C-alpha cells in the first residue's frame, strides 16, 4: 500500500511482475554438428522480476537464443511431436514460452474497493525435454553399397576430402561437398555412408544415415561395375541395385518418387559386359545412366552438368520429379 508524507489515503500501489524470458532456437550455418549439446543440456531464459511499490512494473526476463545447425529437427522427447524443422539460415523457433507476469494489487482497485488485498501470482513458464536431430541439407545424395565409390566421386567433383580405402565402411560420417558445374553455379552433394541389406531396420550404419537422403532432391545411385559377377553380371547388377532400392523404399516410401540417376563406377577396371549390365538395368527402370571412373576422372564431364541441369529443372517445377518408382 502506498504510504507517503502528505498523501492521505494513498491506496494500493503494487506493480505487475515481469514476464519470464523465452527460449528460442536459431539456425546458424556456422555450426555443422550437435556435439556441443552433449555438454550443455539445460537452457533457461531469464526470470521475470517482482513488481514493486509505487506501481512499478517488474523487469521482464531476458530471452535466450540458442544457436543450432541448419537442418536441425526439434522434437518433444516424450511424445515425438515435431516442433519445428530449421532449414534456413537465421530461421527461429520458439521452443519454451516464458511465463506471464503476475498482477499487483493496484490492478484491482475500484471505486468501491479502494484497498484490495488481492495480487495474482505469475504463470509458470514452459518446461520441455527436447530431442534434436540433424539432417544434412544436400541437393544430391550419393547412395550405394559399401565400396561403391561414393567417397572417391565426391572427392573428385568437390573439395571434400573423405577417407578413402579398399575396405567397407571407410565412411563413418556423411560428407558434404560443394560442386561447381557451370560458371558461378554450384550444388551441394552428400556422400551417404554405405547401405547394406536391412539398413532401414538399423543394420550396419542404418537409419543414422538413411535419414540424410530424405532432404535430397536427386539421388545418385552408384554401382561398382568392376565387382559384379563376371559369369552373370546382369543378375548380379539386378540384385545389387534392388538391395538399395528396397532399403530406400522400406525407410520412406516417398523416396520411390524421387528422381534418380544410375551410375556404373570404376569403369576403368570393369569389362564391357559388366558396364552393359548396369546400363540395361537403368534402361528397364527408365533412369538416366552414366559410366564413370572417379579415380581416373572419366565420365565426370557428362555426369556433373546433368545433375546441375536436373536440379534446376526440379527447382523450377512444382512436381517432385518425373522418374518412375523403383521396380520390385
Cα separation, 223 vs 232, whole angstroms: 15
Taking a C-beta distance cutoff of 8 angstroms, is the pair 176, 212 a contact? Answer: no
176 and 219 in a single domain? The answer is: yes
The predicted-structure confidence for 236-257, as pLDDT tens digits, reads as follows 999 999 988 887 888 778 877 7
pLDDT at 264: 95
**Does some domain include residue 326?**
no
Q: What is the DSSP letter of 19?
A: P
Domain housing 262: 140-316
Query: What's the rounded mean pLDDT across residues 48-64?
Result: 83
Taking a C-beta distance cutoff of 8 angstroms, is the pair 43, 23 a contact? Answer: yes
**Residue 203 — very low, low, confident or very high, per pLDDT cuts 50/70/90?**
very low
Query: What's the rounded mean pLDDT across residues 270-276?
Result: 94
How many domains, the chain? Answer: 2
**Does some domain include residue 157?**
yes
127 and 145 in a single domain? The answer is: no
240 and 277 in a single domain? The answer is: yes
> Considering all CA atoms of the chain, what is the largest pairwise distance in Å, rounded to the nearest integer?
108
Percent of the chain with pLDDT over 90: 31
171 and 218 in a single domain? The answer is: yes
Single out the residue in 82, 114, 134 at which a domain terminates: 134
**Residue 87 — very low, low, confident or very high, per pLDDT cuts 50/70/90?**
confident
pLDDT at 234: 94
The predicted-structure confidence for 152-182, as pLDDT tens digits, reads as follows 898 899 876 655 545 444 444 667 788 888 8
Cα separation, 205 vs 144, whole angstroms: 13
pLDDT at 205: 45
The predicted-structure confidence for 29-46, as pLDDT tens digits, reads as follows 777 678 788 888 899 998
C-alpha radius of gyration, the chain, whole number: 29
130 and 146 in a single domain? The answer is: no
Single out the residue in 134, 156, 187 at which a domain terminates: 134
Identify the burial level of 234 via C-beta atoms within 10 angstroms of its C-beta, where 0-12 means exposed, 13-18 middle and 19 or more buried: middle
> What contacts 17, CB < 8 A, 6 or more positions away?
48, 49, 50, 51, 58, 101, 102, 103, 104, 122
Closest CA to 68 of 101, 25, 103, 35: 25
pLDDT at 144: 86
pLDDT at 327: 42
Closest CA to 260 of 324, 164, 328, 191: 324
The predicted-structure confidence for 140-156, as pLDDT tens digits, reads as follows 988 888 888 888 898 89
> What contacts 45, CB < 8 A, 6 or more positions away?
20, 21, 22, 23, 61, 62, 63, 64, 96, 98, 125
- Give yes or no for residue 80 having a pLDDT over 80: yes
Q: Which residue has the higher pLDDT, 88 or 22?
A: 22
Helices (H), the chain: 150-157, 207-210, 233-251, 272-285, 300-316
Q: What is the DSSP letter of 117?
A: -
pLDDT at 173: 61
CATH number at 160 reads 3.40.50.300
30 and 102 in a single domain? The answer is: yes
145 and 77 in a single domain? The answer is: no
53 and 181 in a single domain? The answer is: no
Average pLDDT score over the chain: 81
**Residue 187 — very low, low, confident or very high, per pLDDT cuts 50/70/90?**
confident
Amino acid at each position: 500500500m502506498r504510504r507517503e508524507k502528505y498523501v492521505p489515503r494513498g491506496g494500493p500501489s503494487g506493480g505487475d511482475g515481469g514476464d519470464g524470458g523465452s527460449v528460442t532456437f536459431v539456425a546458424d550455418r556456422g555450426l555443422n554438428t550437435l556435439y556441443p549439446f552433449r555438454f550443455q543440456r539445460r537452457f533457461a531464459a531469464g526470470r521475470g522480476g517482482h513488481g514493486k511499490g509505487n506501481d512499478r512494473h517488474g523487469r521482464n526476463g531476458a530471452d535466450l537464443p540458442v544457436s543450432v545447425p541448419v537442418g536441425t529437427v526439434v522434437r518433444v522427447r516424450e511424445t515425438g511431436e515435431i516442433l519445428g524443422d530449421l532449414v534456413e539460415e537465421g530461421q527461429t523457433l520458439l521452443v519454451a514460452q516464458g511465463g506471464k507476469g503476475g498482477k499487483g494489487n493496484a490492478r484491482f482497485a475500484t471505486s468501491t474497493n479502494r484497498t484490495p488485498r488481492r495480487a495474482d501470482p505469475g504463470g509458470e513458464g514452459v518446461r520441455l525435454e527436447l530431442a534434436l536431430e540433424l539432417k544434412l541439407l544436400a541437393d544430391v545424395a550419393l547412395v550405394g553399397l559399401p565400396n561403391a565409390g561414393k567417397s572417391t566421386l565426391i572427392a573428385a567433383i568437390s573439395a571434400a576430402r573423405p577417407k578413402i580405402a579398399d575396405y567397407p565402411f571407410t565412411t563413418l560420417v556423411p560428407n558434404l561437398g560443394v560442386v561447381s558445374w557451370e560458371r558461378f553455379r554450384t550444388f551441394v552433394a552428400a556422400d551417404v555412408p554405405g547401405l547394406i541389406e536391412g539398413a532401414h531396420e538399423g543394420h550396419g550404419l542404418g537409419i543414422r544415415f538413411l535419414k540424410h537422403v530424405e532432404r535430397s532432391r536427386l539421388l545418385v545411385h552408384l554401382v561398382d561395375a568392376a565387382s559384379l559377377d563376371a559369369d552373370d553380371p546382369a543378375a548380379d547388377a539386378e540384385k545389387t541395385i534392388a538391395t538399395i532400392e528396397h532399403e530406400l523404399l522400406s525407410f520412406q516410401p516417398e523416396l520411390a518418387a524421387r528422381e534418380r540417376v544410375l551410375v556404373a563406377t570404376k569403369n576403368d577396371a570393369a569389362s564391357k559386359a559388366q558396364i552393359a549390365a548396369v546400363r540395361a538395368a537403368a534402361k528397364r527402370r527408365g533412369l538416366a545412366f552414366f559410366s564413370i571412373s572417379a579415380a581416373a576422372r572419366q565420365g565426370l564431364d557428362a555426369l556433373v552438368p546433368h545433375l546441375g541441369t536436373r536440379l534446376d529443372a526440379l527447382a523450377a517445377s512444382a512436381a517432385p520429379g518425373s522418374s518412375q518408382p523403383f521396380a520390385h
